[in-house]
Amino acid sequence: MKWKEEDNTLQATFEFSDFVEAFGFMSQVAIIAEKMNHHPNWSNVYNTVTFHLSTHDAGDVVTEKDLTLSKEISKIFEKYT
């Protein structure tokens, strides 16, 4: 999965076999995000999860926090492939 930087956000979309798998992925990401105290802007429609990461405290731009979280999200996704 490749992340792209666009409109001051890191963006990526992940697809899963079904809703349950997508929701399980989101649950794992939620735990990491909470530990980092860096919560993503994301959406879920059936088997697809989309992220738009930026750091609100830094003026809604991409920071090291977003890069770190995106790497963690990608690691979690690798378990599903």
Average pLDDT over residues 18-22: 97
The total number of structural domains that make up the chain: 1
Tokens, residue 22? 């997508």
CATH code of the domain in which 40 resides: 3.30.1360.20
Place of tokens 């939620």: 30
pTM for the structure as a whole: 0.93
Closest CA to 11 of 55, 41, 35: 41
| Share above pLDDT 70 across residues of the chain, in percent, rounded to a whole number | 99
Q: Which residues constitute the domain of residue 25?
A: 4-78
Closest CA to 13 of 69, 4, 67: 4
